[in-house]
Structure 1
Amino acid sequence: MAVLRYADGPGVTYEVYVEANPSRVWELVTDIHLPARLSPELQRVEWLDGTDELTKGAGFLGYNSHPRIGDWRTASYVTELDQQRVFGWVVTDVDGAFAGPDGAGRADVASPAATWRFELEPEENGTRLRQTVRVGPGRSGLSLVIDQAPEHEEQIVESRLGQLRSHIESVLDGIKALAENRTP
């Protein structure tokens, strides 16, 4: 049985079938402000540098809150953008809140705190919508928790992945409801 380690970049995926065409689902998925309405952790989002157009390389700030680690900001950068198919971004520690003792890990797109991705596939009369998150390899709030109890890393990572899956479920179920013209 493999040991679950943060440095290995573990992740979770959740998917739903949405009774709406891919263009409608894409419109919702690429609205960077929408997840803040649907997620218990992400509080709000704003574009970096006055940008308000979703393009590869575009950046946005995320304002987050978690009962165990408090409030923090992240800077995310669009890394994948394939119209009506894939929208992906990396999350960095813009303020150095989770940087290690040497300051490593701050705003490093090459070593992100997390990598997120939406995938859309036409299916029957609707869309198969999938969201994936991979944590690490860069430092994040999870790193701080592991630093406090490294002997429990596997349980800490497993617990966080469970939380992230729950957050993804909330977001995808909300997108599904909106795309199908229901109240999320």
Structure 2
Amino acid sequence: MSEPSASASIEIDAPPERVYELVTDLEGMGAWNAECERARWIGEVRSARRGARFRGSNRNGSRRWSTVCTVTAAEPGRVFAYHVRAGGMLDIAVWRFDITPSEMGCVVEQKTWDTRGRFMLVVGRLATNVADRAAHNAANMRRSLEGLKRVAESG
């Protein structure tokens, strides 16, 4: 895969399995994620495994929008990735969490690849009020990973 459009990483004093649980706990995601307020599984599969789908509800200030995501990688304690689409059809992005064991606990790297076409670039800017999505995502990733660290290290 090409270079991500944005990425961030952080070391967390918690086991990789604990961090993976938090990253894949859709109902609890809003406690640490900077932009995604909540997410819920849709369809028959209701757990983090390849092919499972979920709806993410996002917010930036007064702007709100939702997306449909399909899990593309789910390796407990190691990787969680998903493909994001608007309306379940129009490409938006690929997101990935890589979790690597460390002496302290683990290092979590969050990455995203912007996959929007011209139409979605315009619609996305209007819907989210974000002109520079890469810079916005990088800042939100740092905030999200700090929130993930806080939650993971608190127990």
Asked if these proteins are the same fold (TM beyond 0.5), I'd say yes
- Describe the shift of the 1:130–1:61 C-alpha distance in structure 2 as closer, same or farther (beyond 3 A): same
Q: Which runs of 5+ in 2 are unaligned?
A: none
Preserved contact between residue 11 and residue 104 of structure 2 (Cα < 8 Å): no
Identical residues among aligned pairs (%): 29
In 2: Cα distance, 1:84 partner to 1:164 partner: 24
Residue 99 (structure 2) pairs with residue 126 (structure 1): no
Root mean square deviation of aligned Cα: 2.8
CA separation of 1:157/1:42 partners in 2, compared to 1, >3 Å: closer, same or farther?
closer
For structure 1, which segment, 44-53 or 167-176, has the greater mean C-alpha deviation from structure 2 after superposition? 44-53
| 2:81 aligned with 1:88 | yes
Give per-residue Cα distances to partners, 1:119-138, cap 9 Å, x unaligned: 00111131011100111234
Runs of at least 4 residues off by over 6 Å: none
Distance verdict in 2 for CA 1:158–1:124, change over 3 Å: farther
Q: Is the 8 A contact 1:9 1:137 kept in 2?
A: no
Unaligned runs of 5+ in 1: 1-7, 95-106, 148-155
Give the residue type in structure 2 aligned to 1:93: A
**Aligned to 1:33, what secondary structure does the other structure show?**
helix
- Residue 166 in 1 paired to residue 139 in 2? yes
Q: Which has the higher strand share?
A: 2
CA 129–40 in structure 1, closer or farther in 2 if over 3 Å, else same: closer
Contact 1:131–1:168 (Cα < 8 Å) also in 2: yes
**CA deviation vs aligned residue, 1:57-80 (integer Å, no higher than 9, x gap):** 000011123348x32221001001
Does structure 1 residue 64 correspond to structure 2 residue 43? Answer: no
State how 1:37-116 maps to structure 2 within 5 Å. 37-49=31-43, 51-67=45-61, 70-94=63-87, 107-108=88-89, 112-116=91-95
TM superposition score normalised by structure 1:
0.71
How far does the alpha carbon of each residue in 1:154-183 deviate from its partner, in whole angstroms, 9 at most, with x for none? xx987221211121112111111122117x
Q: Match of 1:118, as an amino acid?
A: F
Q: 2-side partners of 1:175 and 1:158: how far apart?
A: 26
Task: Give CA deviations for 1:5-36 in whole Å, capped at 9, x if unaligned.
Answer: xxx98611100011111111111121123332
Q: TM-score under structure 2 normalisation?
A: 0.82
- Equivalent position amino acid for 2:48 in 1: L
- Following the alignment from structure 2 to structure 1, what is the Cα–Cα distance between the partners of residues 91 and 47? 22
Specify whether residues 177 and 47 from structure 1 end up closer, same or farther in structure 2 by C-alpha distance, changes over 3 A only.
same
